[in-house]
Amino acid sequence: MEALEHESKPVTAKKQGRLSPFSASFVTIVSYLACTIFLPALLVSFIFVLSPLVGGPSQDEITKQLSDSSTIQFMLSLFIYATLAGIIYIFMKSRDVSLKEIGLGRGPNGKDALYAVGFFIIYFVVNAIIFALVKQYIPAINTEQEQQIGYENAAGPALLLVFIALVVLPPLVEEFAVRGFLYTGLRRKLSKITATMVASVLFGLAHLQFLSGAAPLYIAAIDTFVLSVFLIALRERTGSLWAGIFVHAIKNGLAFTVLFLFAAR
């Protein structure tokens, strides 16, 4: 009887979902391009075609509304982020990849917040040093170039929509997609350093604002590459995405404060 009490049941490790560096990279890149370029263009083209048929505004009026209306810009951002997250989540389900595997197996806690504050301070200092070095030794890169984020006419209650679009949605969805799904897939067969570099380079490239009509935003690509390295380090340190989500939100929140709250005074 005593022997039976001391017997331990065999522990079966939970099988990982079917995810590889190639599939994670392919799904992330294709879904990003589809959601940020092709789907918005398709949606605008559909509105252009439909509007004259129902007696709606002209193409020039529609274009002006798209560029001036904070509400319309917010709805488009919400559509893009929701679609991107939805595509990745559906693919995860099809491959039996759980939220726990990508760093969302638990909710946020106080330790995540403490790590976020500490890592953000270090990131801020490191990033400032890198910016100074780039400005000094690579003058071809314009460190003063502004990122095109829209919402130029936002004021009053519309600022709440801008806050959600810049400070809430990107940290949640981008951490889920890049430091969660993409990085998890890369780590299945790549080393920690290689996976970090690949994920961070892709994240930086996504912020070059190609096809926006403006010059490539190299300084933003450098900034987001450095940010991604720190966010992945947080993912490895805490085993979760929450600390990284907090860091991302702090960074975007500071930008929102400077660009929209201080500028309005």
Per-residue pLDDT reduced to its tens digit, 120-129: 999 999 999 9
DSSP letter (8 states) at residue 145: P
Q: What's the rounded mean pLDDT across residues 75-101? A: 96
Counting residues of the chain whose pLDDT is more than 70, the rounded percentage is 92
**Annotated domain spans of the chain:** 20-262
Q: Report the C-alpha gap between 190 and 244 in whole angstroms.
A: 21
Q: Report the C-alpha gap between 2 and 37 in whole angstroms.
A: 67
Q: Report the C-alpha gap between 204 and 94 in whole angstroms.
A: 28
- Please tell me the predicted confidence (pLDDT) of residue 4: 37
Question: For the residues of 219-253, what is the DSSP string, one character each?
Answer: HHHHHHHHHHHHHHHHHHHHSSSHHHHHHHHHHHH
Q: What's the rounded mean pLDDT across residues 31-49? A: 86
pLDDT higher than threshold 70 for residue 139: yes
pLDDT higher than threshold 50 for residue 134: yes
pLDDT higher than threshold 90 for residue 227: yes
Q: Report the C-alpha gap between 101 and 87 in whole angstroms.
A: 17
- Please tell me the predicted confidence (pLDDT) of residue 174: 98
- In the numeric block, the tokens 């380079």 are attached to 201
Counting residues of the chain whose pLDDT is more than 90, the rounded percentage is 68
CB–CB of 230/124 below 8 Å? no
Q: What's the rounded mean pLDDT across residues 83-102? A: 97
Q: Which amino acid is at 41?
A: A
